[in-house]
């Protein structure tokens, strides 16, 4: 099958076309500045990137342009849009309604819309993207893959906030967790690398990118994760504060004489390692600055690693043990120094990091020594491939169900 994978933001749309048999990416790209002016990037496999300006007043035009580019007689990878067997959409917040990926029919879209309050910045643009695709490709099945779904196996004791219980009942306030598609993909791949069944191992996945989260996966099921009602909770991130005393928010607003909205802008966009260092949210810049003697950049890196260490330690306790710790995403895959620093404090678990760690940038590799009791891996995440696989599985099931119904004359 040829699957179009779409990840829609408020002014952007990332896309990939994947051949599900070979799992090769046939083409990928990005629409930016939707609703402003519009820039399209397109890269067919093995060829150079093309980038040009094109009017995108709304997501519909962005989808149309992507499809036009994919079927371009000169450098397209499809002869017609009919070659697209299904579209897989990255959805952010599925609340408690979606514990797995699902076919996006009108009823499901209505339910997602009802969850908009939980993710006012993320869910509405995703829905706009799905609806634009449905209008242009009305007969192509669409599947939604939710960032929150994998974490739905958490027990109430892990997801409940210690607030008046009625807020959970009335407003669905609880820990949901995000990056679930990545945590699931990486945990499954780790089991494969260890030659074990997911049911038989305890894994801690450290998804360390600009947004960062950790999850504890016991027997293939998520039992804890660091992000909460929104992606703001948990680790120190590129520009997000992660865990802070909630009183800080009121205190900043009061002292700086700014509104709640402005305060949250600071907590989301001007905090994290950027806030501590005053240098950058990018770890490459921070490492360079720290090496050149910048103390605040060094502090930001230290604080980041300290928090990752703290979460891993607590998740070992939550699972009563661990078989593998895995690093993924931009920092996890590319920053050997961060991995080594975090693992320093787990010698008590019998973890020894192999010097091979220093040379691993984005490759799949075990970075603990062969006799290390707990294994440590770098596993590159691939959320698009995970979305493609789910889409194929759901569409195939649907085809089988429809065929059986026809055969039975229902
Ligand atoms: P997101 O998807 O949340 O935007 P990514 O997973 O793409 O984030 O990670 C981006 C981050 O990865 C960058 O901000 C940077 O901090 C880090 N990163 C990327 N490459 C390197 C590298 N070679 N060394 C250190 N950090 C890196």
Q: Which atom of ligand 1 is nearest to the CA of 208?
A: 6
What pLDDT is attached to residue 182?
A: 97
Give domain status of residue 409, yes or no: no
Which one of 106, 147, 243, 323 is the catalytic residue?
147
Give domain status of residue 161, yes or no: no
Residue nearest to atom 7 of ligand 1 (CA): 330
Claim to verify: residue 210 and residue 281 sit in the same structural domain = yes
What CA–CA distances, in Å, run from 200 to 48, 221, 245? 44, 11, 37
Distance between Cα 396 and ligand 1 center (Å): 35
Segments of the chain scoring below 50 in pLDDT = none
Give domain status of residue 391, yes or no: no
Give domain status of residue 37, yes or no: yes
Which among 207, 283, 383 is the best mutation to test ligand 1's pocket, defined by most ligand atoms within 8 Å of the CB?
283
Claim to verify: residue 127 and residue 202 sit in the same structural domain = no
Distance between Cα 165 and ligand 1 center (Å): 38
Give domain status of residue 404, yes or no: no
What CA–CA distances, in Å, run from 124 to 109, 117, 399? 11, 10, 29
Q: What would you report as the CA-atom Rg of the chain, rounded to the nearest whole angstrom? A: 22
Give domain status of residue 191, yes or no: no
Q: Is 209 in the pocket of ligand 1 (CB under 6 A)?
A: yes
What is the span of the domain harbouring residue 32?
2-146
Claim to verify: residue 271 and residue 353 sit in the same structural domain = yes
Give domain status of residue 8, yes or no: yes
Residue nearest to atom 21 of ligand 1 (CA): 334
Claim to verify: residue 109 and residue 245 sit in the same structural domain = no
What pLDDT is attached to residue 121?
A: 84
48 is a catalytic site residue: no
Q: What is the CATH number of the domain that holds 105?
A: 3.30.420.40
Claim to verify: residue 229 and residue 108 sit in the same structural domain = no
Q: What is the pTM of this model?
A: 0.95
List 204's β-bridge partners, or say none.
216, 325
Claim to verify: residue 287 and residue 371 sit in the same structural domain = yes
Q: Is 336 in the pocket of ligand 1 (CB under 6 A)?
A: no
Q: Of 301, 186, 326, 295, which is closest to residue 238 (Cα–Cα)?
A: 301
Claim to verify: residue 204 and residue 342 sit in the same structural domain = yes
Q: Of 213, 180, 186, which is closest to residue 201 (Cα–Cα)?
A: 186
Burial class (CB in 10 A: 0-12, 13-18, 19+), 91: buried
Claim to verify: residue 142 and residue 202 sit in the same structural domain = no
Claim to verify: residue 211 and residue 304 sit in the same structural domain = yes
Give domain status of residue 385, yes or no: no
Q: Is 329 in the pocket of ligand 1 (CB under 6 A)?
A: yes
Q: Which atom of ligand 1 is nearest to the CA of 211?
A: 3
Which residue, 88, 120, 146, sits at the end of a domain?
A: 146
User: How many structural domains are present in the chain?
Assistant: 2
Phi first, then psi, for residue 76 (nearest 5°) are -75, 165
Question: Could you tell me which residues come within 8 angstroms of residue 44 by beta carbon, excluding any fewer than 6 positions away?
Answer: 26, 27, 75, 76, 77
What pLDDT is attached to residue 307?
A: 98
Claim to verify: residue 241 and residue 356 sit in the same structural domain = yes
Claim to verify: residue 280 and residue 342 sit in the same structural domain = yes
Q: Is 273 in the pocket of ligand 1 (CB under 6 A)?
A: no
Claim to verify: residue 114 and residue 221 sit in the same structural domain = no
């Amino acid at each position: 099958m040829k699957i179009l994978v779409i990840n829609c933001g408020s002014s952007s749309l990332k896309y990939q076309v994947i051949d599900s048999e070979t799992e090769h990416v046939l083409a990928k790209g990005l629409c930016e500045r939707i609703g402003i002016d519009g820039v399209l990037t397109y890269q067919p496999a093995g060829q150079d990137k093309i980038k040009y300006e094109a009017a995108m007043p709304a997501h519909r035009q962005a989808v149309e342009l992507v499809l036009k580019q994919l079927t371009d007689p000169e450098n397209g990878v499809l002869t017609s849009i009919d070659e697209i067997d299904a579209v897989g959409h990255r959805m952010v917040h599925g609340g408690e309604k979606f514990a797995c990926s699902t076919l996006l029919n009108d009823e499901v879209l209505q339910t997602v819309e009802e969850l908009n309050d939980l993710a006012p910045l993320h869910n509405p643009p995703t829905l706009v993207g799905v609806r634009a695709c449905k209008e242009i490709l009305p007969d192509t099945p669409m599947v939604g893959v939710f960032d929150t779904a994998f974490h739905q196996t958490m027990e109430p004791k892990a997801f409940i906030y210690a607030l008046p219980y009625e807020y959970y009942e009335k407003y669905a306030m609880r820990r949901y967790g995000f990056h679930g598609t990545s945590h699931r993909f990486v945990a499954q791949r780790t089991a494969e690398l260890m030659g074990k069944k997911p049911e038989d191992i305890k894994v801690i996945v450290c998804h360390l990118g600009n947004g960062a989260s950790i999850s504890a996966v016991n027997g293939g099921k998520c039992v804890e994760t660091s992000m909460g009602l929104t992606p703001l909770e948990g680790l120190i991130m590129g520009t997000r504060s992660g865990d802070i005393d909630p009183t800080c928010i009121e205190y900043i607003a009061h002292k700086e004489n700014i509104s709640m909205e402005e305060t949250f802008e600071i907590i989301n966009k001007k905090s994290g390692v950027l806030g501590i260092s005053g240098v950058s949210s990018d770890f490459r810049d921070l490492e360079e600055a720290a090496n050149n003697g910048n103390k605040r950049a060094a502090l930001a890196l230290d604080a980041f690693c300290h928090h990752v260490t703290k979460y891993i330690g607590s998740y070992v306790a939550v699972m009563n043990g661990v078989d593998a710790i895995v690093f993924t995403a931009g920092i996890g895959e590319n920053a050997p120094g961060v991995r080594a620093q975090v693992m320093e404090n787990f010698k008590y678990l019998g973890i020894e990091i192999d010097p091979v760690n220093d040379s691993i940038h984005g490759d799949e590799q075990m970075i603990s020594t062969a006799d290390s009791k707990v294994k440590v891996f770098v596993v590159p995440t691939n959320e698009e491939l995970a979305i493609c696989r789910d889409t194929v599985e759901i569409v195939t099931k649907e085809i089988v169900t429809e065929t059986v119904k026809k055969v039975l004359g229902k």
